[in-house]
Amino acid sequence: MSTKKIVIDPITRIEGHLRIEVEVDEEGVITDAFASGQLFRGIEYIMRGRDPRDVGLIAGRICGVCTNSHFRAAVSSVEDAYSLEVPTNAVIIRDLMAMALFIQDHIVHFYHLHALDFVDVVSALGADIPSTVKEAYKYASDPYRNSESHYASLKNRVQKFVDSGKLGPFANGYWGHSEYRLTPEQNLILLSHYLEALRFQSEISKAVAIFGGKTPHPQSIVVGGITSVADMLNPQRLNDYLFVIKEAKEFIDRAYMPDMRLLAEAYRGDIKAAQGRANGNFLAVGGYAFDNDRKLFEGGAIFGHDFTDIQPFDEKELSEAVDRAWYEGDEVCYTDLNDDGTLKTAEPTDKYSWIKAPRYKGEPMETGPLARVLVSYHKGGLIKPFVDEFLEAADLEIIDLSTTMGRNIARAIESSFVCEYIFKLVSRLLQNISYYDTQTWCKYEFSEMPPESSGRVFLEVPRGFLSHFIDIRESKVERFAVIAPTTWNATPRNRDGKRGAYEEALIGIKLADQSKPLEVLRTIHSFDPCLACAVHVIDLRGTELSKRLLRVE
């Protein structure tokens, strides 16, 4: 059977530069796929020779989106190297920033980076306004901004866009594609939420900035604690924070979650056909203590969808390889494209990505909200009732979440869950302060810290499982390494030829129109790719990233 190659480069509506190549058979079914990180980064080189107290501010620049995640992780890796005990208040403040970021990231991802893979903007213009109001009540008891006047004015605005021929952010969509399944009324509801979410995501950013000084690139996390002490002690600032979260929760309950139910119904066939399912390997490290013995997320590893055997996370099982990435020993080793402009992938040793290949127990793993939900759910974690409620309302099973749509459902459930627990975190902070525990940093003398030391941190961040590793020599950074969530999901093959999560998720998908590969975009977008974060160079010697912690095959 002859195959044809389809190249999508760049994939848009993501952070960074990603190229996807798929091979399709005569029926238009994807038979093979290659994900290629197209952006070379060198932040680890910049780190060398720096003062370890500066790594947070530098690492925050790895990405323009995940700034807070890298900032915190890098600072925590130094704290680990110096064995510093960070006070409870500082941990809570860091968690409050992280939690706001979870919500902000998930809302931006779904509405602004992904929704238009499901929502046909042009079709919304055909919506009947009274029917739209009625339709929204099918999925929510009190739908968000659900009035005839609101929808009529929205429709008017979009019509003006279309009439002027300038679709702005909606230009170049595959409008009219047969894989768009929503009715004009449903499209109008989602389009309304798309625009409302634009306002929300900027509001939620303010919540991060209350304790971070600003966002992106917050300033308030330092080795040993936090600096936003006055904000922590000011009841008005805490109120401001909670006000934003309450508003976000309302949007999540009345728009985001109902939209997931609507989509789960409209795309039920794809869900049941397991569209976008990867290899069933999931990795989560868990974390975010809110009580003495309970955590927001559980950690563990699942292999091949075997939910009966969730293995505890063990850092000794992490490894990284560059057999198929553009590195060789001491050198960067870029190999150009084939004459026809496609990636060199024909040979099992051909290199095709700037992304390295992280493995857990030698296996490619999927990380992210879906991995967290599946691990926590099966370990009886706190999120379980939230998941059960959705599954029951949508008449789905837990395995159905291991799909393109399921990744979005997991993200929405997680947003709702996190909102709920933010209030508990704030109560814990207030309780601490009322007992006159106002400590926000641990005192240490830099000159007394060991000049040679290594540290690492494993953290759940919005896009998944993030690791930072640091080696300190003569009180300077000698080596610094990152494995970001997208490094896991967008990994190239290894010498064993096993596909990564992006690649595996595409296999078996049938393209309705090969000139408009909407199904590919949809599945890749469901992972919330962040390529700026994903690409990290290896140590120049091409071997170990952190002597103590990381085995490189």
Contacts with Ni ion, residue ranges (CB under 5 A): 63, 65-66, 530, 533
Please, which residue, 24 or 65, has the CB nearer to Ni ion? Answer: 65
What's the closest the beta carbon of residue 47 comes to Ni ion, in angstroms? 17
Please, which residue, 140 or 530, has the CB nearer to Ni ion? Answer: 530
What's the closest the beta carbon of residue 207 comes to Ni ion, in angstroms? 19
What's the closest the beta carbon of residue 247 comes to Ni ion, in angstroms? 25
Please, which residue, 15 or 414, has the CB nearer to Ni ion? Answer: 15
Please, which residue, 65 or 103, has the CB nearer to Ni ion? Answer: 65
Question: Side chain identity at 488, as an amino acid letter?
Answer: W
Element (H, E) at 22: strand 18-24
What's the closest the beta carbon of residue 533 comes to Ni ion, in angstroms? 3
Per-residue DSSP letter, 325: B
Please, which residue, 63 or 96, has the CB nearer to Ni ion? Answer: 63
- Half-sphere exposure at residue 218, Cβ-oriented, CA atoms within 13 angstroms: 32
Please, which residue, 63 or 285, has the CB nearer to Ni ion? Answer: 63
Bridge partner residues of 296 (DSSP): none
What's the closest the beta carbon of residue 484 comes to Ni ion, in angstroms? 7
What's the closest the beta carbon of residue 488 comes to Ni ion, in angstroms? 13
What's the closest the beta carbon of residue 553 comes to Ni ion, in angstroms? 26
Q: Which residues lie closer than 8 Å to 318 by C-beta, 6 or more apart?
A: 358, 359, 360, 467, 483, 549, 550, 551
Q: Using CA atoms of 42, 46, 47, 49 in order, give the dihedral in degrees to the nearest 10.
A: 140
What's the closest the beta carbon of residue 461 comes to Ni ion, in angstroms? 9
Element (H, E) at 427: helix 404-434
Please, which residue, 252 or 533, has the CB nearer to Ni ion? Answer: 533
Q: Which residue has the tokens 């702005």?
A: 168
Q: Tell me the CA distances in angstroms from 258 to 253, 304, 347, 393, 426, one per residue in order.
A: 7, 30, 47, 10, 27
Burial track 486-511 (b if 16+ CB lie within 10 A, e otherwise): bbbbbbbbbeeebbbbbbbbbbebeb
Cα 103 to Cα 240: distance, rounded to the nearest angstrom:
16
Q: Which long-range contacts (CB under 8 A, 24 or more apart) does 383-390 make?
A: 383/296, 383/297, 383/413, 383/414, 383/417, 386/413, 386/416, 386/417, 386/420, 387/413, 390/257, 390/260, 390/261
Please, which residue, 82 or 527, has the CB nearer to Ni ion? Answer: 527
What's the closest the beta carbon of residue 59 comes to Ni ion, in angstroms? 11
Per-residue DSSP letter, 317: G
Cα 542 to Cα 461: distance, rounded to the nearest angstrom:
28
> Over the Cα atoms of the chain, what is R_g?
23
What's the closest the beta carbon of residue 374 comes to Ni ion, in angstroms? 22
* Among 61, 68, 250, CA closest to 143: 250
Please, which residue, 216 or 276, has the CB nearer to Ni ion? Answer: 216
Please, which residue, 36 or 402, has the CB nearer to Ni ion? Answer: 36
Please, which residue, 63 or 483, has the CB nearer to Ni ion? Answer: 63
Give the SS3 label for residue 436.
coil
Token pair of 70, please? Answer: 């890298």
What's the closest the beta carbon of residue 15 comes to Ni ion, in angstroms? 5
Q: Which residues lie closer than 8 Å to 456 by C-beta, 6 or more apart?
A: 77, 80, 315, 467, 468, 469, 470, 546, 548, 549
